[in-house]
Amino acid sequence: MKTTCKIAFLALLIGMAAGNAQENGKRPPIIDVHVHAMRVNPNFAATMCPWFLSDMPGSGPNQPAPSFINTACANPLQPATSDADMQAKLLEACERLNVTMVVSGDAAVIHDWHDAAPDRFIPSLSLSSADQMSVEAFRDSLETGFYKVMGEVAPQYQGMSPSDLSLDAYFAVAEEMGIPVGIHMGTGGNGMINISNPKYRASLGQPFLLEDVLARHPKLKIWVMHAGYPMIDQMIALMGANAYVYVDLAGFIWSYPLEEIHAYLRRLVQAGFGKRILYGTDLMMWPKLLETSIGVIENANYLSEDQKRDIFFNNAVRFFNLNPEDFE
């Protein structure tokens, strides 16, 4: 076979393989490690413009408080209109895009979604302060076997460090049971303190604050939600010193300026941590956000196809001890 002919033959084979994959309707699997289950409240449901923080509004204390999201753009994403609408659209998107989600939040909603499609949802138990649940109740919940993950743990919104001793007994239970933990660190949007969380402190999102937890619980698997954005140097130093720490890209992947997102992700990969990045959205009430966020990774021209697959799938399989064959 002549070389040109071989190339043509090869191209034909690749084309056929791609064609088959499409005929089966099967996209390669994606694991979204950061999804919030919540009741849809039509009074608070708002449209949302992705990357709305590209232009943070000028504001002042005697002016109206900034809004959490920007709704003024050509094609804002539409919120779900009811719980049933959210569930139906989410399940449809998960099937079409071949996405499995780690989901935390409203227990009844998680159960509904999980009952409807057990293979598409990995339930996660959220806890951010000791007032929410006793350590015994926390252990009992995990022992039912329904919850496979602990998160989102977000002490930063309460003005508390993740290494605060009040959380320590919970982390000890997660460590003992081999339950991975997702901790919110870094970004909270524009004006979080002014809008809704006066106790929130930017400084309590510093990745270095995890070092005491990691030292006290050497077998605890932690991933840093939102990748400690924008504290990239601390994030890289922490991941360098602690070989089991992963990050996810949730939240900032659809809210901050696109170039900024790519600069942050690129820096993580450039620093050598491509095998420790998890794909996540921070999905709340906008089902179309899945496509929006997936597109950011698919269009990242500085990532190889292997690196994209690591971020979308392989890293999560490793981190959560999943069986890749379950996704075939």
Give strand pairing partners of 99: 30
- Looking at the Cβ atoms of 85 and 260, the one nearer to Zn ion is 260
- x/- map, 77-116, Zn ion, by CB under 5 A: ----------------------------------------
184 lies in the binding site for Zn ion (CB under 5 A): yes
- Closest residue to Zn ion, judged by C-beta, is 184
Least separation in angstroms between CB 142 and Zn ion: 21
Cβ-proximal residues to 8 (8 Å cutoff; 6+ apart), any chain: none
- x/- map, 219-238, Zn ion, by CB under 5 A: ------x-------------
Stretch that binds Zn ion, among 35-43, 176-184, 193-201, 314-322 (CB under 5 A): 176-184
Least separation in angstroms between CB 327 and Zn ion: 25
- Binding positions for Zn ion, 127-166, rule CB under 5 A: none
Distance CA 293, CA 295 (A): 5
Least separation in angstroms between CB 276 and Zn ion: 18
Stretch that binds Zn ion, among 9-17, 22-30, 181-189, 301-309 (CB under 5 A): 181-189
Stretch that binds Zn ion, among 13-21, 143-151, 184-192, 214-222 (CB under 5 A): 184-192
Q: Do 255 and 51 touch, CB atoms closer than 8 A?
A: yes
- Looking at the Cβ atoms of 109 and 303, the one nearer to Zn ion is 109
- Looking at the Cβ atoms of 103 and 303, the one nearer to Zn ion is 103
Least separation in angstroms between CB 249 and Zn ion: 12
- Looking at the Cβ atoms of 122 and 183, the one nearer to Zn ion is 183
- Binding positions for Zn ion, 63-82, rule CB under 5 A: none
C-alpha 91, offset from chain centre: 18
Cβ-proximal residues to 305 (8 Å cutoff; 6+ apart), any chain: none
Distance CA 27, CA 97 (A): 6
- Looking at the Cβ atoms of 127 and 303, the one nearer to Zn ion is 127
191: left (phi over 0), alpha (psi -120 to 50) or beta: left
- Looking at the Cβ atoms of 184 and 221, the one nearer to Zn ion is 184
Stretch that binds Zn ion, among 143-151, 164-172, 206-214, 218-226 (CB under 5 A): 218-226
Least separation in angstroms between CB 109 and Zn ion: 17
- Looking at the Cβ atoms of 100 and 156, the one nearer to Zn ion is 156
- x/- map, 235-254, Zn ion, by CB under 5 A: --------------------
Kindly calculate the radius of gyration of the chain based on its CA atoms and give it in whole angstroms: 20
Give how many residues touch Zn ion by CB under 5 A.
2
**How far is the CA of 84 from the CAs of 42, 159, 292, in angstroms?**
12, 35, 22
Distance CA 216, CA 48 (A): 41
Cβ-proximal residues to 78 (8 Å cutoff; 6+ apart), any chain: 47, 286, 288
303: left (phi over 0), alpha (psi -120 to 50) or beta: beta
Q: For the chain, first and last CA: distance in Å?
A: 35
The pair of three-digit structure tokens given for residue 289, joined into one six-digit string: 């956000």
- Looking at the Cβ atoms of 167 and 303, the one nearer to Zn ion is 167
**How far is the CA of 13 from the CAs of 5, 8, 136, 305, 310, in angstroms?**
12, 9, 57, 18, 24
Contact residues: Zn ion, CB under 5 A: 184, 225
